[in-house]
Amino acid sequence: MSYQKFGFAVLAMAATLTACNQTGGESTPDAGTGINRPDATSAATTSDEPATATFGEGFTFRNGLAVAVAPPEPFTPSGSAAGFEAGDQAVTFTITIVNGSPENYDPVLFTTNLQSGNSEASEIYDSASSIEGAPTTVILPGREAEFRVAYSVMDPTDLVLVVSPGFEYRDAIFTF
């Protein structure tokens, strides 16, 4: 076996073992707040319930990392935006990540995907409107980060947003 294949096998096994540790979580009224917004009132809990939440709520993973997604708001992309499709409507979501875990959280693998009606929605990137996706700075324990994502959607009343904090987490699904 070549070193490259061996390295890939070790990486895949490590990712699988890590995923087994972080698969749970539950829907919570909100994601709480971090020390950079010190009015925190909610606590992390554990559960094996489905990873679903309603827009405006939060989802807390077993290790204490929490994600909240505000209800979608109408959005007007700038002329330099990428991803907006003619005939669609644009919506934006404010996402808050609260690191209630005892370890640093690196959001580099944080992703979102959206279904509108029965179609995959196109993500909009619009630096002129501060729509650039997830942050890249490590979120220290007890701190939070807030950012916006935007999508080009067929039906803004029928949305399913899938949030994935990384390989070691299960996806959290947000709906109306």
Instruction: Return the structure tokens found at 78.
Output: 């700038």
Q: What is the pLDDT of residue 44?
A: 37
Tokens of 159: 């949305």
Q: What is the helix (H) or strand (E) element at residue 10, kind and residue range?
A: helix 3-21
Contact residues for 70 (Cβ-Cβ < 8 A; gap 6+): 55, 56, 93, 94, 95, 96
> Taking the alpha carbons of 166, 168, 171, 172 in that order, is the dihedral positive or negative?
negative
pTM for this structure?
0.74
What domains does the chain contain, in order, with CATH numbers? 3-175 (2.60.40.1240)
**Which residue did the predictor score with more confidence, 50 or 85?**
85
**Exposed/middle/buried for residue 124 (C-beta within 10 Å: 0-12, 13-18, 19+):** buried
On the question of pLDDT at 81 being above 90, the answer is yes
Question: What are the tens digits of pLDDT across the range 24-59?
Answer: 666 666 677 776 554 433 333 344 455 899 999 999
What are 139-153's pLDDT values in tens digits?
Answer: 999 999 999 999 999
